[in-house]
Chain A
């Protein structure tokens, strides 16, 4: 499990874009999806999540808006932008490529 955290940490922003591509969402739900998908191995802190979201906002890959939540609290929802969708597509293409050569490199099946 040593590599999981490292890998995910390097792809936090892509993961967030991918989650938002399935629909608008807010901080806690995003972190929960990540945690569940990684079978509890990767527990993203709020600070890490916030910094990643901040970078995505700055690059205009996502936008945000407030919505009333339960118990009188407000939730800040995030939505992917058109630019974000394009970047996500690009990242997904890169990921397929990376996945193949990492399979070979780490799995030891590469050609000499």
Chain B
């Protein structure tokens, strides 16, 4: 529990420049908290109660400013109601105008983040620490799955060719979306933790049904039937397992409040595996080039910058691992998202817009700009109050993503499409072994997800 106290103190000062004075203050506060915690234990409190009572005595070290935290409660409620109505409009827009609907979808995710951040800051202001961390962790997980699940149904529609799956996915995603928003809204109204848990329970089971029916059964069937019918490049299977390990380790990490030896070992194994895989993939043009040229140097650069920033050895190690893990999980999705395998490509084709790919990909520039601006805005909001080092890191990360989108897109389009006409034939767009790899990835995500749901989440 003392580790938890230490972590609490670290979190309290995480966005403050780590001067000598702050380091000494952290040590002093931690020492005081330990004494107080011991006293609570001695008078008969259990560990959890003692922890909560102890952190209540900390108070706030940060001076009030005019940031989001000081929105009025009424404003927060109005914003939440608006976000619900806004989300209800999305499905209509999505079906009617394709690509623009997706841009609105991206905007809506951004708006949820802003609105929900307002609620969270208000919780922080009231020092309702337990709820704050509970919700903060949930928000992270929700957004992760929300983004991931959004890509699944569209990919399944075009990979497997079943429109029924698409509609089923759509309905379930819509229910999920509304349930998320209800949770955010109710939370903003300060309804009890018990109510929140009931909604969270319903939402979790809807997710499991969705993942089980749509992703698990259909994608698994496709994957294993492909295995039995075709010769598959084993490298892609290896990559799939690597991704599974990364996903698993990342989710385990997300479910922990502090690092234990077990989850650290799992992550280390996953990363060693992944790095070894990258070296192996030198022999493969597609993954080799992209992974080695784009992923690793950036990971190293970013990892070093985080390493220098963090104070303790454990934090330094975690920073690097987290970063590589994050990119490792996002990479295939980005690859899928922009690399000619993109749902956008099909939607554009579907809606007969005049935007084409290949050598003409610069015509997508406005879209890249929109995504880039959204990412920048999100980063700015998240790290408005962060020290300069963090801002630099986030800027590097943002630039990286924008470049990654451009470069990978260009490489893959020219590799597989050649020219704009080939986009009209799906078989020319998706090489079969890549399609299998992606399905393998979905299966892995599904398994990971189920495992994750079985793990008791500690906040």
Q: How far is the CA of A28 from the CA of B61 in the complex (A)?
A: 16
Q: Which of chain A's residues has its CB closest to B59's CB?
A: A45
B7 CB within 8 Å of chain A: no
A73–B59 touching, CB < 8 Å: no
Q: Which of B20-28, B222-230, B352-360, B430-438 contacts A (4 or more CB under 8 A)?
A: B20-28
B36 CB within 8 Å of chain A: yes
A27–B59 touching, CB < 8 Å: no
Q: How far is the CA of A69 from the CA of B32 in the complex (A)?
A: 10
B206 CB within 8 Å of chain A: no
A28–B58 touching, CB < 8 Å: no
A95 CB within 8 Å of chain B: no
B interface, size bucket = 10 to 19
Residues of A within 8 A of B28 (CB): 27, 50, 75-76
B371 CB within 8 Å of chain A: no
B66 CB within 8 Å of chain A: no
A73–B34 touching, CB < 8 Å: yes
Q: Which of chain A's residues has its CB closest to B25's CB?
A: A50
B312 CB within 8 Å of chain A: no
B1-41 interface code vs A (CB 8 A; 1 in, 0 out): 00000000000000000000000110111111111100000
B57 CB within 8 Å of chain A: yes
Q: How far is the CA of A48 from the CA of B30 in the complex (A)?
A: 15
B59–A47 touching, CB < 8 Å: yes
Residues of B within 8 A of A71 (CB): 34
B60 CB within 8 Å of chain A: yes
Given contacts A45-B57, A46-B57, A50-B61, contact A75 B29 (CB under 8 A): no
Q: Which of chain A's residues has its CB closest to B2's CB?
A: A71
Q: Which of chain A's residues has its CB closest to B34's CB?
A: A73
B57–A43 touching, CB < 8 Å: yes
A14-36 interface code vs B (CB 8 A; 1 in, 0 out): 00000000000011100100000
Residues of B within 8 A of A45 (CB): 57-60
B34–A48 touching, CB < 8 Å: no
From B24, B27, B58, contact of A46 by CB (8 A):
B58
B25–A28 touching, CB < 8 Å: no
B32–A47 touching, CB < 8 Å: no
Q: How far is the CA of A45 from the CA of B31 in the complex (A)?
A: 14
A74–B57 touching, CB < 8 Å: no
Q: How far is the CA of A79 from the CA of B58 in the complex (A)?
A: 22
B residues 49-80 touching A (CB-CB < 8 Å): 57-61
Q: How far is the CA of A31 from the CA of B29 in the complex (A)?
A: 12
Q: Which of chain B's residues has its CB closest to A30's CB?
A: B32
9 pairs across A/B with beta carbons < 8 Å?
A26-B32, A27-B29, A27-B32, A28-B32, A28-B35, A45-B58, A45-B59, A47-B58, A76-B24
Not counting A27-B29, A28-B36, a sample of 4 additional A-B residue pairs whose C-beta atoms are within 8 angstroms of each other reads A45-B59, A46-B29, A47-B58, A50-B61
Chain A residues packing against B (C-beta within 8 Å): 26-28, 31, 43, 45-48, 50, 69, 71, 73-76
Q: Report, nearest first, the 3 A-B pairs whose CB atoms are least far apart.
A: A45-B59, A47-B59, A28-B32
